[in-house]
Amino acid sequence: MRMGLAIDAACDLPQAFLQEHNVAVMPITIQVDDEVFMDNRNQVELHRFLDRKLGSRSHSAETIPCSVEDVQKLFLEKLVLENDCVFCLTITATRSAINEHVNKASFAVLKHYRDVREKNNMSGPFLMRVVDTRTLFAGSGPCIVEAARLIAAGEQPAAIRERLTHIANNSYGYMLPRDLYYLRARAKKKGDRSVGLVSAMLGSALDIKPLLRGYRGETGPVGKVRGFEHGAETLFNYTAQRVRTGLLVPAVCVSYGGELSELAKLPGYDGLRAACDETGVALMEAPMSITGMVNVGEGAVTLGFAAEEHVAEF
């Protein structure tokens, strides 16, 4: 059975990984003022966004996830012809409509795929499985990495789906923003009151940054740090401890909202890399998606790993 993977553009993983595993990307359309960007993890489009220096204005952007019709088109024109089963992984359904769109599209795909395959002299059933990773950005990475491993190992679809559900329920996605005013403006635009004006003012005045976590569909602060660099060091040191304790998937995914070369300069990153090297854990670095930067601001860090349930200690 030929099996494939599809993800939404807000799942942060290295381009080399996506190409190696032939991962299809469901795009997100973004409009900032009169500029339109297609967020499909294309590096040229990403650098066009960065070069235009739109980060400070993109809190007013409109983000449009891949529509039901576009998902149908991707599957019926391409994926049902290349695969017999596709696992479709998305960021948490509580923060994006893409999961809902994919689920709705699946009904039409499963209804019409036989006609498409028969016209191309193909027979046999096609399976489409939708998985909510229940977290955001780099936090979705470990679940996708595990999906690729299981497919390569030739596991059956039912076993893969069961395993991915377990990983999604135990995936931890962390985020460290740079600019609380930006984060509040973007949250207000989307009707999210989780970052109030007073907390944004106090945070900016005192240089207090929240450490945010996406876990099992819920997103909120789990700690506070003074200064972005100290926050990065705190997050990387904490993750290094979790790496040494043991992970469910031997991968830590990290994304940065800007030039990726800046990531390694942050305090604590060398220690995280050393912990991963010592334990045989892959440290996977990726530029943050345009969608991610629009929602949390340039210069932010997101990080994800999968581990047994535990209490965050910052």
Q: What local confidence, expressed as pLDDT, does residue 312 receive?
A: 85
Name the CATH topology of 3-169.
Rossmann fold (3.40.50)
pLDDT computed for residue 283 by the predictor: 98
From residue 60, alpha-carbon distances to 29, 182, 297 in Å are 14, 10, 11
State both tokens at 42: 């294309």
305 DSSP β-pair partners: 172
Q: How far is CA 80 from CA 87, 115, 190, in A?
A: 12, 11, 35
Residue with tokens 């996506």: 18
Burial of 157 (0-12, 13-18, 19+ CB in 10 A): middle
- Which CA distances in Å does 298 have to 88, 146, 213? 27, 28, 18
Query: Residue 139 to residues 197, 213, 217, 271, 301: CA-CA distances in angstroms?
Result: 27, 9, 11, 20, 11
Tell me the domain boundaries of the chain. 3-169, 171-306
- The pLDDT, as a whole number, for residue 198 is 46
User: What is residue 60's predicted lDDT score, i.e. its pLDDT?
Assistant: 74
For residue 6, the cross-strand partners are 24, 88
Q: Are 55 and 298 in contact (CB under 8 A)?
A: yes
Averaged over successive runs of 10 residues, the pLDDT of the chain (314 residues) comes to 96 97 96 89 90 72 91 97 98 94 96 96 96 98 98 97 98 92 71 55 69 93 91 97 98 96 97 98 97 91 97 84
CATH 3.30.1180.10 holds for 171-306: yes
Tokens found for residue 242:
């979790």
Strand locations in the chain (E): 3-8, 24-26, 28-32, 35-39, 62-65, 85-90, 127-132, 171-176, 208-215, 218-226, 251-256, 282-287, 301-306
Judge contact between 172 and 215, C-beta under 8 A.
yes
Cα gap 301→213, rounded to integer Å: 12
Q: How far apart are CA 10 and CA 302, in angstroms?
A: 12
Can you give the pTM of this predicted structure? 0.93
Q: How far apart are CA 183 and CA 256, in angstroms?
A: 16
